[in-house]
Amino acid sequence: MNEHTVAVERSRTADEIQTLRWNLESATGAGQTLAAPGDIRDRIRSSEALPPLPEITRRLLELRADPDANALMLAEAVGLDPMLSAQLLRWANSPYYAPRSPVSTVRDAIVRALGFNLSFSLALGLAALSPLKTPNTGPLSRDRIWRHGMQCATLMQALAREQPAEIRPASGLIELAGVTQNIGYLLLGHLLPEHFQLLGRFIQSNPGLALPTLERFAIGVEHTQLGGWLFEAWEMPEALQTVQRQHHNPAYSGEHQSLVLLTCLADQLLEGRGDGLGARPSDPETRTGLLERLGLGEHACEHALSALADCEEEDNDD
């Protein structure tokens, strides 16, 4: 990012903050007081406040570390959770994977439709999200967060297929990173529903402003930090912790660079088609640099968006 870009970013952020101040009263309502950001951070980071890692997620992580793990073992683990089984079957029968005949068992979903690595990723993602009881209302409703995660996972998988093999992330992490990247919003709604609703009102009162700016102003912390704290407490894989913290940072450079930047690109593509959650759209210079570092061209973005559109169109026809 050059000096001109930094200056533009600072100016744009200052303008956004001023707009936020103008809209503060309508977002909060008369007489409502805001908790100090530090108080919110302390409450959320408290080990007593963070929900424990679900038992099914723990089982799946242990199985993931077993070099002898196979489809039957995974099917048995998933089968212990009826809701998880139903969600995995729904994904396996989606048009994107187009099974020749409907899949009716978890084992068939793993073997015939999804494959072992993808099944593991989706099962882990679904299990990780399950304990967070977030309101299903407003611009950050649970359903919208879930839909956005699935869209990102689909885009990331399509983009990764066109990456050079030497920089392509491990297939078992791509979909999981996409599905869980916004778990910080669900954590906020689970622990502090009143602040979750407040953030939703800020979003509705300030259309067009980048969501990270709104988060910092409204609650003093971003969803990337919340997700990072939760995944750290759960001892999730380091790559996924990094995605939580950095998936809105196109300048990120580090061990898990390709996975982080794929997530960032998928977010930006969804913003471009009007399905985003409020990430700042990239300028041409940032977009070009992001594609270069991922070993991709614009054609890869077009192919990925086309694949997502085809999947959604067929799904709507069912």
Domain coordinates in residue numbering, the chain: 3-51+142-317, 53-131
pLDDT score of 274 more than 90: no
pLDDT band at residue 279 using 50, 70 and 90 as cut-offs: confident
Separation between Cα atoms, residue 253 and residue 166, nearest integer Å = 16
The contacts of residue 100 (CB under 8 Å, 6+ apart) are none
Q: Supply the mean pLDDT for the chain.
A: 83
How crowded is residue 145: how many other Cβ atoms within 10 Å of its Cβ? Answer: 24
Q: Residue 276 has what pLDDT?
A: 84
Q: In the numeric block, which tokens belong to residue 120?
A: 């593991």
Lowest mean pLDDT among 129-138, 152-161, 177-186, 286-295: 129-138
pLDDT band at residue 39 using 50, 70 and 90 as cut-offs: low
Mean pLDDT of the region 97-107: 81
Which among 219, 190, 189 is positioned nearest to 202, based on CA atoms? 219
Mean pLDDT of the region 126-151: 89
pLDDT score of 127 more than 80: yes
pLDDT band at residue 310 using 50, 70 and 90 as cut-offs: confident
pLDDT score of 129 more than 80: yes
pTM: 0.82
CATH topology of domain 3-51+142-317: Hypothetical protein af1432 (1.10.3210)
pLDDT score of 20 more than 80: no
pLDDT score of 244 more than 90: yes
pLDDT score of 4 more than 60: no
Mean pLDDT of the region 66-84: 91
pLDDT score of 22 more than 50: no
**DSSP classification of residue 163:** S
Mean pLDDT of the region 38-62: 78
Mean pLDDT of the region 53-59: 88
Lowest mean pLDDT among 211-225, 246-260, 301-315: 301-315
Mean pLDDT of the region 102-107: 90
The larger pLDDT score, comparing residue 250 to residue 46, is at 250
The larger pLDDT score, comparing residue 298 to residue 213, is at 298
pLDDT score of 249 more than 50: yes
pLDDT score of 23 more than 60: no
**Cα-based distances in Å from 309 to 50, 107, 120, 142:** 37, 28, 25, 22
